[in-house]
Structure 1
Amino acid sequence: MNAHDDIAQVSLIMTRARAAQKEYEAGASQTRYDRAAAAAAWAIMEPSRNRALAELAVETTGLGNVPDKVIKNHRKTLGLMRDIKGVRTHGIIHEDASTGITEIARPIGVIGAVVPSTNPAATPANNIINALKCGNSVVVAPSPKGVASCELLLRYIHAEFDKLGLDHDLVHMIPPPGSKAKTQAMMELSDRVICTGSQNNVHRAQTCGTPAVAVGAGNVTVIVDETADLKAAARKITASKTFDNATSCSSENAIIAVDAIYDDFVAALADEGGALVKDENQIVSKLWPDGHLSREVIAQDADRMIKALGMVGQVPENTRFLAVETKGVGPDHPLSGEKLSRVAALYRANDFEDAQAIAARILQYQGAGHSIGIHTAEDARAVALGASMPTCRVIVNQAHTFATGGSFNNGMPFSLSMGCGSWGGNAIDENLHWKHFVQSTKIVREIPAIEPSVEDIFAEYWADAGA
């Protein structure tokens, strides 16, 4: 099939998705939207299908591990369903007599979703559920390695659709094999693009001509100060760093411990399976053998990672991840960037102010806008980070991977895509959620005029600066 045929194939799919969306919207009710979203959610959450998707994802992408993907598929979907339960996305959603405005929820149309190989089932499911909840159809563009998982997910979704009499064309994917040309065509023919993945994909999404909601790169840094509960911090960081073999963009990539507790914290990490490595050159040479991250290391189980890095016999048998001492930050110091593996850079700071300065340098190099973590008993320090750092989220005393994208014990919306604001080159600074999949029409009525006098507006200014 030549390039022209590829584009024609994508165009046909988009036409079918658009027709299905029009019919879905024409006969709509909130119940219909809710049932469709629930169908897509149950398609991935039903235990046997969840496991099949997790096993296929690991088998075909070589990234992560099955038990953690099962947990991720379940919790991310359950959390999303909690967030959207009872939310009105159809009909009149707000009326305000004082302004005379009535707001009516309206679908966007056809959503084009670009999704990564790190979460080849959970991320498309999240996008599909949000799209259906808001009355849209959706076409997914998976990464090449994520094609098999996406195909299986859609098969499960369509089976659930059959129970409700819903059109399969509401949920499509780009036909394999994937290509940049096919994805480009899909984005250009969509009504809104949702993009999670490489910065190359994000750039293409934001320049395709279709309104796009894209998210920035992660490179999470976490500070451990002298007031922290070191055992709890070590336990949470280890659980977060090792989950799904560090495939998450919210996985800790750099840990900054202040001098006063550095040795005690290293000991606490060791108790949890975090092995200290002092020779950073040995790790760098094996993790980036040709200037690119080694596929033998990224998102691998601990034993495979240790073997690939030549660390067998040099770290304890219970090692779950490596904490590699380093001082450098920037392009000449790759440990300061995202590693997608059970490897974290470990920095020693003089005090909290120094830790904050190191963290700022790391985020300015990579990961600006995404998030930063802190383990502390001083909440004012978390607020200080939020007021000064180039970040949209400050995660306090939590396992970062589980907290950033929404958790049952914090107030963040459940999501696999984190907007990074202007710092990360994004239009949004919040977690991607249902509000990004709906628009509204306002009915505007005349009301009694509310017009202030010039004095009402400028009196305080004149008092300070003179008229």
Structure 2
Amino acid sequence: MEASLFNSLIDISESPAASRGQADLMLERARWAATVFDRYDRDATMRIVDAVAQAAHEHAAEFAKKVVAESGFGVAEHKKIKNELTAKPLVDFYRDQDYVNLRIDETRKIVEIPRPAGVVFALTPSTNPIATINYKVLLCLMTRNAIVMSPHPAVRETSIEAVRILARAAEEAGAPAGVIQVLEQPSIPLVDAFMGSDKTNVILATGGTPMVRAAYSSGNPAIGVGPGNAPVFVDASADVTKAAQRIVASKSFDNSVLCTNESVLITLPEVENQLKMALKSSGAYICSDEDTAALRRFLFHPRGFNVEAIGRDATWIAQECGIRVPTNTKILVAPITQIGVEEPMSREKLCPVLAMHVAKTRSQALSQSRAVLRLTGAGHSAAIHTKDEASAIDYASTVEVYRVVVNAPCSQGAAGFATNLAPTFTIGTGFFGRSSIGENVGPQHLVHWTRVAYNSDTDESFGNYQEIGRGFRGALPPAPADGVPGSAPAAPPAPQPSAISSIDSATKDELRRLIAAELRDLLRK
């Protein structure tokens, strides 16, 4: 879905040689920034992180409105919430995690040195552009990485403005110039050049399946996500009223553009009527067979899902299908009699349309939930509403996903905003979804650790590393010799961009000459 819209909007005429040259210039700048940033201590790093989070928070409402105006879908009020959640709360979640200082394990006689990835190339989707930008930028800053953002063309202008504001906030707080960059004219050859360059250390891909697969096949390390298609099971023990309220709230949130939204509701005969009444009371419209047929025709074409429906509200979709619904309708519930390739309504739907299937038995409900994910969405997310712990465990053990939300909205819960899961806008789908990571992606995935391991023999003593800190060269002074053992250095003044820019100017001049030479060579090919 994302990929088809992406391809239809971007210019593919740019030559590969010119694209490689442009990518090389930006990546060299990012690589220099990452090298300098690696010298920062934790206090300086967190000052930059907090400044950027504050800037993201202050512009959350503004960019929510601009994104809806530019893209034509979603709910500005809900996008504001997502933009805010990926600012200060995201940083606070990881505040106690240290990705800068040495980790010392005296028992095992191991010292671990954090090693940032370096240069991160990040793709963003049209559905959650600003929240994804906030999230990926802050993850990179927490781990002292440089980042180059590639915005989705459908929301290019707003995304570029947002990245520029975050970059300005970072540099004003002392970050090296070029630590946050953005492609202002994204194109297929340019994105390919970034993904394939040996100067890109890791790719953070969020978007359609073709985009993610391209990242994985680029030859560079990549962290990507697969599509969602979350089943939600309401079993006989559930508080049906609360379940209905939570499902409607989740499915209508930002018109269901989060990939963690519920896609197929599965329940049992003894719950069906009560659940339908509760859904209606919560703002759902229960479709007739004719309504469901009209929705099926509108949403699914021979080429796939109708992208015009992405992020549209329920009343707009109903009107396009010729279905008369109350003006306050939040979601459309479409009953279906089977789950499988023959029923397209059992596939992912990034709009407030929820398929509903009534299984004959609890055992069948579990197998049908599993079948939903076999169609698409393996490894992603699922939800269950129940008061029975055994039922929750049976369900979670059956469905092939890595996060199961219990008695909470799945849209927010699987993304870590209505549960205590790690807050994220990149959902790892693991082995089930052919992804490298199965958990919610966080800063820990952008830093590796060099391990200094002593001889395990008890006769070989372990060194005293508590009084040794890393020497942060360049713009920052080294840790004071009389500091508290094992602690971070005392907070130095925030390094100013001008000071950082002036360090080793001879090296920078040489770097410019190398870049120019490389660019000339590329353009000759």
TM-score where L is the length of structure 1:
0.91
Correspondence for 2:385 among 364, 375, 388: 375
Distance apart, 1:289 and its partner CA: 4.8
Note the 1:119-138 alignment, pairs <5 A.
119-138=128-147
Contact 2:16/2:193, CA 8 A, preserved across alignment: no
Match of residue 464 from structure 1: none
Q: Which residue of 2 aligns with 1:424?
A: 433
Q: Does 2:454 match 1:445?
A: yes
In the other structure, the counterpart of 1:229 is 239
Match for residue 220 of structure 1 among 206, 226, 230: 230
Equivalent of 1:146, from 155, 171, 187?
A: 155
The 8 Å contact of residues 202 and 214 in structure 1, kept in 2 or not, is answered as yes
> In structure 2, the residue corresponding to 1:38 is in which secondary structure?
helix
Which residue in 1 is equivalent to 2:282?
272
Deviations 1:219-255 (A, max 9, x none): 0110001111011000000000000010000111100
Q: Distance in 2 between matches of 1:342 and 1:73?
A: 20
**CA–CA separation in structure 2 for the residues paired with 1:128 and 1:296:** 29
C-alpha distance in 1 between matches for 2:220 and 2:302: 37
Q: Distance in 1 between matches of 2:426 and 2:192?
A: 20
1:296/1:308 contact within 8 Å kept: no
Q: For the residues of structure 2 that align with 1:151 and 1:219, how far apart are their CA atoms? A: 30
1:332 aligns with 2:342: yes
Greater mean alpha carbon deviation, residues 148-157 or residues 249-258: 148-157
- Kindly provide the amino acid, as one letter, of the partner of residue 99 in structure 2: T
Q: Indicate the SS of the match to 2:27.
A: helix
How many Å apart are 1:295 and its aligned residue?
4.0
SS in structure 2 at match of 1:424: coil
State whether structure 2 residue 114 is matched by structure 1 residue 105: yes
Report what 2:53 is aligned to: 41
CA distance in 1, matches of 2:32, 2:374: 45
Give the CA deviation at 1:385.
1.9
- Partners of 1:204 and 1:163 in 2: how far apart? 35
Instruction: Report the Cα offset of residue 311 of structure 1.
Output: 1.0
Q: 1:161 to 1:78 in 2, by over 3 A?
A: closer
Q: Are 1:53 and 2:66 matched, yes or no? A: no
- Alpha-carbon distance, 1:115 to partner: 1.4
Cα 1:240–1:111 change in 2 (3 A) is: same
2-structure distance, mates of 1:404, 1:416: 10
Would you say 1:81 and 2:91 are equivalent positions? Answer: yes
1:101 offset after TM fit, Å?
A: 0.5
Q: Is 1:282 equivalent to 2:294 in the alignment?
A: yes
Determine helix, strand or coil for the equivalent of 1:221. strand
Q: What corresponds to 1:460 in structure 2?
A: none
- Which deviations, in whole Å up to 9, do the C-alpha atoms of 1:365-417 show, x marking residues without a partner? 1111111110011011111122222111111010111110112x532000011
Alpha-carbon distance in 2 for matches of 1:449, 1:174: 55
**5+ unaligned residues in a row in structure 1: which ranges?**
451-467
Match of 1:22 in 2: 35
Paired residue secondary structure (1:89)? coil
Matched ranges for 1:286-435 at <5 A: 286-289=298-301, 291-312=303-324, 315-407=325-417, 410-435=419-444
Task: Give secondary structure in 2 for the equivalent of 1:113.
Answer: strand
Deviating 4+ runs (over 6 angstroms): none
> Would the aligned equivalents of 1:238 and 1:321 in 2 still touch at CA under 8 Å?
yes
> Offset at 1:264?
0.6
Whole-angstrom distance in 2 between the partners of 1:96 and 1:291:
55
Q: Which residue matches 1:180?
A: 188
Give the whole-Å Cα distance in 1 for the aligned partners of 2:397 and 2:306: 37
RMSD of Structure 2 on Structure 1 (CA): 1.6
- The answer for the alignment partner of 2:260 in structure 1 is 250
Runs of 5+ consecutive residues of structure 2 not aligned to the other structure: 1-13, 460-525
Deviation at 1:112, TM superposition (A): 1.0
Query: Quick check: 240-249 or 115-124, which moved more?
Result: 115-124
Could you state the TM-score of these two structures normalised by the residue count of structure 2? 0.81
Verify the 8 A CA contact 2:36 2:176 in the aligned structure 1.
Answer: no
Sequence identity (%):
28
Aligned positions, number: 442
Query: Structure 1 counterpart of 2:335, which letter?
Result: E
Say whether the 8 Å CA contact 2:114–2:447 is kept in structure 1.
Answer: yes
In the alignment, the residues of structure 2 paired with residue 96 and residue 50 of structure 1 have an alpha-carbon distance, to the nearest angstrom, of 41
Letter in 1 for 2:316: R
